[in-house]
Chains A and B, each alone.
Chain A
């Protein structure tokens, strides 16, 4: 049995987290400052933060489901892929306005996530976490196959929400879509953090994962919290896929890459922590661009993942994760 830990309630633990958060951010900034070569370093940071924000959103999806059910949802990347492809269908094929397409695409994916939870995960009550994880892998393969069948293999283009003309400052440039990415990520992380740490249902969901029996005893429904977690994760994933699509296109196969990077970001930041997901995602994004720019680019993934492994050796629970509750 795991000890029930309510984060945000213990002052010392909170301080601890804030400390790690600041250390991580400071380390990031120092690393960047060191690599600043004129405008080049700034450009890496801007591009890296854009890509990293998307990893962060996907990572948050992983974390929400993990924090509430201890399941790692390997179909998380496919939610993003579906978001992008549905956005293409609604905005480019059907011709609806962007805002309406956005809402529709997110709604469809959210319904799919919730439906899957009810139809499969919910019915597997009592199954081991490993069994559930394998089911999510199967689900991801299923989604990919259906997406390929519907949309084909070619990547598609989605128009940027606010033009494509890059803005320039201090010798670096930024595409307007990046602001949407930053803004959405910031709002999402704040809402998710507040929900899990400041509201009763959010705390209940975490309790349901930490100790399902005890949570049930005090009136928290594990079934409801699982449904809620899947719904939120699907919505976040879909939104992430939609806002990155104008920068990076969309294709049936993109979910695998997003899922992998998002998962790595979640592990780096600390699985189960929303601010951790953001820190992990941003670091991974900037690292990728920086290593491609500073090392022979063939090694860029190797370098990025080596750094992640080193971090995890020192801090196995991730940058902002808390150690697993002790077994009693």
Chain B
């Protein structure tokens, strides 16, 4: 990058380099010569979204440890200040205000859910502090907010992936949609409805269910009475597992597809045998073999997976990946921009080809999603295991 207005002289550069190298070599942190880079994070560590926030927190702690062990960013130690929103958007809003005003953080990570993220965005947009979230809701980046970015594949991306599969692989035209009546399910169903025309697919039945409903037999018998060739279920556990069981009970022959909301082993555990044959779009990291061997991305996933296993004795999941990537994107931009929020925001927006765990991030002024559809694959449950059918396009760098 060119620094405008400063005539760079070779001796100065050399001097700077020497200072930097010596600082790194002799441990700059001990006497606090360089200020610590504070990054705030608001995650759902308790409440219903805790299964999302906790792995995100674990990843951030790992990343902090790793960056600081390697000498920090230009000698600045990094500190993630993590707050819990208890899965409530209102509390996320309060927490982010505290982080910005009291802790004077340079950037914000979070929230874990779309609701919290949007509540936080009200504050970060006003304070002009960059925010990198771990939530998939379409509204987060459509329309693009100047200071808000995301790490996970967006819901819109998952829908494109799924509809592409329906059109090109299953080659069917008529689908039924059965969605959770909550915000996630309704948002997904709306998106499906608006996009399906582009793929020549028609939604001939759209039904909903409540998150804690005991039986979805009523809705399914109705779908049975139509000529739908597949059922697309949009929701998170345990709804889709109940539906898989009900479909088996009703002897329904048409395939069940679902959202990336079931991209966890819990779904297979709950649905048991009924899980077999269910397909859904998911990140490649769920099946590392789907990432070309020898690529930087594959190496990043393998390393992260090992690191995470060593520290916590747990397998990585998508949420761990979102947390890690959010931290990575901000700290990577800090290498160049330091802690000036405005510069940092510009640096994040210029991120190009950054290899994370979820995929390879390239942001632009019109795209704050970062990933692309090819960072996802269609996953099929076979014999209680995730598999992928191999005919996927190579991910693009």
Task: Provide the bound-state CA to CA distance between A236 and B117, in Å.
Answer: 43
Q: Does B210 contact A (CB under 8 A)?
A: yes
The total of Cβ contacts below 8 Å across the A-B interface reads 97
Task: Provide the bound-state CA to CA distance between A300 and B210, in Å.
Answer: 10
Task: Provide the bound-state CA to CA distance between A201 and B210, in Å.
Answer: 42
Interface residue from A43, A50, A155, A298 paired with B237 (Cβ < 8 Å)? A155
How many chain A residues sit at the interface, stated as a range, is 35 or more
> Taking each of B207, B249, B250, which has the highest tally of chain A beta carbons within 10 Å of its own beta carbon?
B249
Interface string of B237-267 (1 = CB under 8 A from A): 1100110010011110000000000000010
B239 vs chain A, min Cβ distance (A):
10
Interface string of B53-84 (1 = CB under 8 A from A): 00000000000000000000000000000000
Choose the segment among A5-13, A204-212, A286-294, A305-313 that binds chain B (4+ C-beta atoms closer than 8 Å): A286-294
Task: Provide the bound-state CA to CA distance between A292 and B237, in Å.
Answer: 20
B250 touches A249 (CB 8 A): no
| Interface residues in chain B, defined as those with a beta carbon under 8 Å from any beta carbon in chain A | 48, 50-51, 181, 207-210, 212, 214-219, 221-222, 224-225, 237-238, 241-242, 245, 248-251, 266, 269-270, 272-273
Chain A residues, Cβ within 8 Å of B209: 292, 297
CB<8 Å pairs between A and B, sample of 18: A37-B225, A43-B250, A44-B217, A44-B221, A153-B48, A155-B237, A155-B266, A155-B270, A157-B269, A157-B270, A157-B272, A244-B214, A249-B238, A256-B212, A289-B215, A292-B207, A292-B217, A293-B221
Chain B residues, Cβ within 8 Å of A254: 212
> Taking each of B48, B214, B224, B245, which has the highest tally of chain A beta carbons within 10 Å of its own beta carbon?
B214
Task: Provide the bound-state CA to CA distance between A47 and B245, in Å.
Answer: 13
Main secondary structure of the interface of B (DSSP, over half): helix
Name which residue of chain A comes closest to B222, CB basis: A293
Name which residue of chain B comes closest to A178, CB basis: B249
Task: Provide the bound-state CA to CA distance between A162 and B249, in Å.
Answer: 15
User: Which 8 A-B pairs rank lowest in CB-CB distance, beginning with the nearest?
Assistant: A292-B218, A293-B218, A47-B217, A289-B218, A257-B212, A155-B238, A297-B207, A166-B249
Beyond A157-B269, A249-B238, A301-B210, whether A292 also contacts B219 by CB under 8 A is yes
B208 touches A297 (CB 8 A): yes
Chain B residues, Cβ within 8 Å of A50: 215
A40 touches B273 (CB 8 A): no
> Taking each of B208, B215, B225, B272, which has the highest tally of chain A beta carbons within 10 Å of its own beta carbon?
B215
| Interface residues in chain A, defined as those with a beta carbon under 8 Å from any beta carbon in chain B | 37, 40, 43-44, 47-48, 50-51, 54, 152-157, 164, 166, 168, 173, 175, 244, 247-249, 251, 253-254, 256-257, 288-294, 296-298, 300-301
Chain B residues, Cβ within 8 Å of A291: 218
A289 touches B249 (CB 8 A): no
A153 touches B50 (CB 8 A): yes
A298 touches B214 (CB 8 A): no
Beyond A47-B217, A253-B212, A257-B212, whether A164 also contacts B273 by CB under 8 A is yes
A210 vs chain B, min Cβ distance (A):
35
Name which residue of chain A comes closest to B270, CB basis: A157
A248 touches B214 (CB 8 A): yes
Name which residue of chain A comes closest to B207, CB basis: A297
Interface residue from B48, B215, B269, B272 paired with A164 (Cβ < 8 Å)? B272
Given A155-B241, A292-B217, A292-B219, 18 other A-B residues pairs in contact with their CB atoms under 8 A: A40-B225, A44-B221, A47-B215, A47-B218, A50-B215, A54-B214, A153-B50, A154-B51, A155-B266, A156-B270, A164-B245, A164-B272, A173-B250, A247-B215, A249-B241, A292-B218, A297-B222, A298-B207
Interface residue from B208, B248, B269 paired with A166 (Cβ < 8 Å)? B248
A290 touches B214 (CB 8 A): no
